[in-house]
Structure 1
Amino acid sequence: MASAVKVMFRFKKLDLYCERLDSSFWAEPINAFTNLFIFLAGVYGLSESRKLPSKSEVRQIKICSYLAMATGIGSFLFHTFANSLTMWLDILPITLFQIFSINFFLQFVLLTPLVARLIFLTLFVALSLHLKSEAYVEYFNGSLMYAPSLVTLFVLGAITWLKKMKGVSICLYASVLIFTVSITARSYDLEICEHFPLGTHFIWHSLNGLLIILLLKAMIIHTKAELNFAKD
């Protein structure tokens, strides 16, 4: 364990957020602590999914829940060790969560064929990574990379509303609202640093915990509706 910690400290240090004033482990206590909300969102999804019978939808909900928990842990490590290694421990779980959650709605809610899902998800990841590149980092503090996710959630909300899946749609539209606010908080973290030393990145973490709960709730609502339909 001690050797693993030593390895963590060998990678290039990063200073990307307002709250961090030095390279010490607890230089971002609020940013680090608020990852608990993301982790607990995953715990919620796992707890609720275990109440449902085993089927493909439930297995995917569990995967998304585990990925949410991994996101909370990875982000905690990034905001404590803050280096080029832990940055990827932060990025990979949340990217996988986005892929698996979007795939859930495409596969089980919209009944999208496999090839169409693969094409969409490939384009989604490619565009997100493109917007994360150096050319776009200066815009909105690098938050443009989340624009494809925001647009996708909005479209999914509209489609499910038209399909009379109101419970799912309400959760998705609520997630769009929460996500818009959290992206705004992430975008202006450095902008307001002079006036508010804590920055606003902790709001991003806190609201994303709620966002993940809403997405998992939408999945659970749909799955329960399918199970009730099968019983009838």
Structure 2
Amino acid sequence: MEGDWLAPICAYCERGDPGFWAEPVNALSNGAFLVAAALATARVRRARTGDAPALLLSALVAVVGVGSFLFHTLAVRWSLLADVIPIALFIYAYFLLAMRRYFDLGIGAALAATLAFAAFNLGLEPALDGLTGRSTDALTNGSLAYAPAILALAGVAAGLLTPRGPLGPARPDAGLGLLDTAKREAGLGLLTLAKREAGLGLLDPARREAGLGLLGVAALFAVSLGFRTLDRAVCPVWPLGTHAVWHLLNAGVLYGLIAVAVRYRRHRS
């Protein structure tokens, strides 16, 4: 068992031997996660909303950086777990927070949604392997595992950008049929205004801002995932690979996710 856990892993273009500093760029680029964690923590404190979940997520970003550093220096099986487990914890913790904060789900419903997302996440790769008869993990350089996170981000953003009710009355002439045109138009205007005051049929500014923010983060995540996927393919022309760019951009992704959540809570408080 000890030999298994200490078995060396050569997974990235930059690594040419099992040495500690065989991936210096990949290893040191994890400092971006520590910077992102510090900036996210500072943002939470400036908001002064007592946002404990966002603080915990900020701390988790730092753990992601440390775990990834261990993997890109030690490069053995146990350090792979130090790399992937914090990332998975962040993904599921943020999904749970999104269900609670953006959609006001109770804790039971939010946990059920998170478990369903986890089941989809864990089942996607085996299902695609069965359909294609090939290892989709190998085809995507291990990046397929992050595809459900992008889909989840896009789905949450779409939910935030969807109006909660119809704009305007369903029957424009109801109750106004005996009025002349000018009075009818005035009545419709008052009804529409009343609905706006009640918050129906409109996209709440805080929800719109959060939805657009998450769409932007999802786009950045997709770009960063592209660099992760291309790492081995560019080895013949760029021996350093592109995995370090994944680290830099993904640190921005994690910071952006926390920033969106903090802004949304501040608007709601």
Question: Shift of residue 36 of structure 1?
Answer: 1.0
- What amino acid maps onto 1:147 in structure 2? A
Q: Which runs of 5+ in 1 are unaligned?
A: 1-6, 228-232
- Give the alignment of 1:184-203 within 5 angstroms: 184-203=226-245
The CA deviation string for residues 112-147 of structure 1, in whole angstroms up to 9 with x for no partner, is 232332222112223333446684322311111111
The CA deviation string for residues 64-108 of structure 1, in whole angstroms up to 9 with x for no partner, is 101101000100110000111111111111111111111111101
Tell me, yes or no, if the aligned pair for 1:17 and 1:199 is still in contact at 8 Å.
yes
Question: What is the match of residue 150 of structure 1?
Answer: 150
What's the RMSD between the two structures over aligned residues? Answer: 2.1
Give TM-score, length-normalised by structure 2. Answer: 0.76
Correspondence 1:45 to 2:44: no
Report SS of the residue matched to 1:145: helix
Structure 2: how far apart are the matches of 1:51 and 1:190? 41
Give TM-score, length-normalised by structure 1. Answer: 0.88
Structure 2: how far apart are the matches of 1:131 and 1:207? 24
Structure 2: how far apart are the matches of 1:183 and 1:154? 15
Question: What is the match of residue 3 of structure 1?
Answer: none
Structure 2: how far apart are the matches of 1:132 and 1:96? 19
Identify the range of structure 1 (45-54 vs 68-77) with the bigger mean alpha-carbon deviation: 45-54
Identify the range of structure 1 (154-163 vs 199-208) with the bigger mean alpha-carbon deviation: 154-163
Correspondence 1:69 to 2:111: no
Q: How many residues align structurally?
A: 219
Aligned pair in 2 of structure 1 residues 63, 166: CA closer, same or farther (>3 Å)?
same
Structure 2: how far apart are the matches of 1:13 and 1:211? 29
Report SS of the residue matched to 1:198: coil
Q: Which runs of 4+ in 1 moved over 6 A?
A: none
Q: Which runs of 5+ in 2 are unaligned?
A: 130-134, 163-202
Structure 2: how far apart are the matches of 1:15 and 1:125? 28
Query: Identity across aligned pairs (percent)?
Result: 29
Structure 2: how far apart are the matches of 1:193 and 1:143? 17
